[in-house]
Amino acid sequence: MSVQGYEDELRSERAYVAGLYARLDEERERATAEHQAALAGDGGSPMERDVRVRAAGREIRRLAVADGGLCFGRLDAVTGERTYIGRIGILDRDDDYTPLLLDWRAPASRAFYVATAANPENMRRRRQFHSRGRHLVGFTDEVLGRPGGDERGDAALLAAVNAPRGEGMRDIVATIQAEQDEIIRLDHPGVLVIEGGPGTGKTVVALHRVAYLLYTRRDRMERHGVLVVGPNPAFLNHISRVLPSLGESNVVFTTPGGLVPGLRVAAEDTPEVARLKGSLRILDVLAAAVADRQRLPERPLPIELEDVTVRIDAETAEWARQEARASGLPHNEARAVFVEIVTYVLTERAIARIGKGWLTRDDKEAWEDMRADLLTELAEHAGFTAAVDELWPVLTPETLLTPLYTSPERLRAAGADPALLRSDGEAWTVSDVPLLDELVDLLGRDPAAARAERAADREQRAEAEYAAGVLEILQTERHDLMDDEDHLLAQDLLYAEDLADRFVEGDTRDVAERAAADRNWTYRHVVVDEAQELSEMDWRVLMRRCPSRSFTVVGDLAQRRSAAGATSWEAVLEPYVPGRWAYRPLAVNYRTPAEIMSVAAALLAEFAPGVQPPESVRACGVRPWSRRISEAELPAAVEEFVRDEAAREGTSVVIGPPGVPGAVPASETKGLEFDAVLIVEPGRILADGPRGAAELYVALTRATQRLGVLHQGPLPTVLGDLVEVEAQTPARG
């Protein structure tokens, strides 16, 4: 194409894209007007208005994501038909809803990502747009179906991976590769495992897969939402804009430490304790700890009633305990069975003593009357309540675990490892979260609280029914009365509508807000990132949250640092989804340049010799370097790196072991990427055994452009490929 031809085409495409933005703005105005009208209550019942408010709100959110890069390409079919591909779909309302812009998730958009020279998918040309905000700055054409044609628009891809990193993860919707697109659109109803080394894009592929599933299965997935679990808050913040930028907001983001509503923990146990808590064997400990709180009295407990004193002895408590346990109910709910047996025995004994000489069982009416009086007295008897609390207390997960962790005797009684002992029982860790969650089911709800909640629900429903009845009567009567009475009836009708609105349940929170606050919420789909770090107990929590077992699992077994983490995907998943999980690898590294990946690959070969490192698609032209310094020189060297990188465009981080000023541990950078990385004291990181090797591997593979290493002692042999420098980093440009 000539220069003039290119400029003419660019002007034409700019006009088309400008028209799309004009249509987008019109759609936004329309959705906003509908939302405001619905909020104002223009017509319809309260329920109908609520539906309109929610629908308009969703449309506003869908349209809000597309200000930057609304349209990122065009497909030209061999028939001459042109299709523009974009972030969302836009229809021409004036022309029988003809598509002006096709959503990237639509089946017809697939060719944009998978068409190649060898398999053009009936396409003649793929055009990729390069935009800055709303402005189209250029385009790249790729002719398909001819010998020598490239398989992908590498210019667009390399421009994306070489661009400086911003504050968060960018979507790849404009540069999805064929192997990634296949995974994104895979129709698999169970668990999909995406495994890939650093920089292969596995996380962003998983998020785009969620956006695709929400697009294609909207009715099934939207009401229940999606749960995304990541390793740490920094990672969640990093990825949190990807799904909203693709128009999806019904998503809950959390870490394993946030899976129990109301509890947010980041502290970690020692590797040994984490391994103990993460193993399924801890289930036996929890069950035994609950059973240990179902006690028998060491000596009979006296209950002084008005006319007689009765005692709860070990034999009575043992019978009641057996019946309660045999009921199969959770601990707190089984307490009612325990109480029923104990009160039966006590009332029988009390009646026999009170009625001795004059009352027999033949006088059933008198016997039952006396029993009823005694039951009422026991129900209100503080001593009896205290005795039951001692033998079968109402427990919460916290009130069970706290004394367990702080008592060698209780740990021994539960068959637990003494390593679980700690001084502060309430110093919750990430490894405690699945135990607390498990205990919710083992213990069950407090029966008194459940009864109060049910009573409140019944009262609210009755009030709502009454208000609806008043409204119906007034609406009927309005049609039967004279016109001069209409004004009065209108006021009454409005009052009745307000009354009904007050009592009709109207939870205005969106799906994500409601799901995050409800431990019993079940999601339609779950994404688990850095899944190799999750313990067996973590997986129980997640499977409980998704009964349909629809998961996208992302990880890299070579990067596992947790002693409780996965050693194989089969061992983790087969117990829950036998035969219903699929595995898809990603082998191309789009993030880490070849110069840096060669250093990381040498380390990988040392601690995971059977794992093939991902192949980098590019080189950056800058060799990673190392510099030996003294302890006194360390602060200035770190400051020098920070100062130099602050003058550049992009992001940077300092990674090091505890005690290094200004450094973060490698575990806090998992899943993140930076233009420049400085690693301090790699030898100290490696000294932590297999876990340390995985940590250093993570640290080495975070950089997209520049990598430096500072060390005081000898440089670990495995890092011998680094260029040793004397004073300053060699790359300044």
Binding-site residues for ATP:
196-203
Neighbours of 357 (CB within 10 A): 5
- Count of alpha carbons within 13 angstroms of residue 598, beta-carbon side: 13
Query: Do residues 492 and 467 touch, judged by C-beta distance below 8 A?
Result: no
CA angle, residues 527, 528, 530, in degrees to nearest 5: 145
End-to-end CA distance of the chain: 34
Which residue from 342, 351, 297 is spatially nearest to 319, judged by alpha carbons?
A: 342
What is the residue type of 220? R
Burial 480-500 (b: 16+ CB within 10 A, else e): eeeeeeeeebeeebeebbebb
CA angle, residues 28, 33, 38, in degrees to nearest 5: 125
Please enumerate, by residue number, every residue annotated as part of a binding site. 196-203
Q: Which residue has the tokens 């969620």?
A: 210
Collect all residues with Cβ–Cβ distance below 8 Å to 567 and sequence separation of at least 6. Answer: 557, 560
Alpha-carbon distance 175 to 88, whole Å? Answer: 16
Tokens describing residue 474: 């007034």
Tokens describing residue 430: 């990430």
Phi/psi at 547 (5° precision): -60, -25
535 exposure class (CB count in 10 Å sphere: 0-12, 13-18, 19+): buried
Alpha-carbon distance 699 to 673, whole Å? Answer: 10
Q: What DSSP designation does 714 have?
A: P
128 exposure class (CB count in 10 Å sphere: 0-12, 13-18, 19+): buried
Distances (CA, A) of 421 to 287, 403, 418, 428, 653: 18, 10, 6, 13, 37
Collect all residues with Cβ–Cβ distance below 8 Å to 327 and sequence separation of at least 6. Answer: 334, 337
Alpha-carbon distance 413 to 292, whole Å? Answer: 7
Query: Do residues 635 and 629 touch, judged by C-beta distance below 8 A?
Result: no
Which residue from 252, 192, 242 is spatially nearest to 221, judged by alpha carbons?
A: 252
Q: Are strands 98-103 and 309-312 parallel, antiparallel or unpaired?
A: unpaired
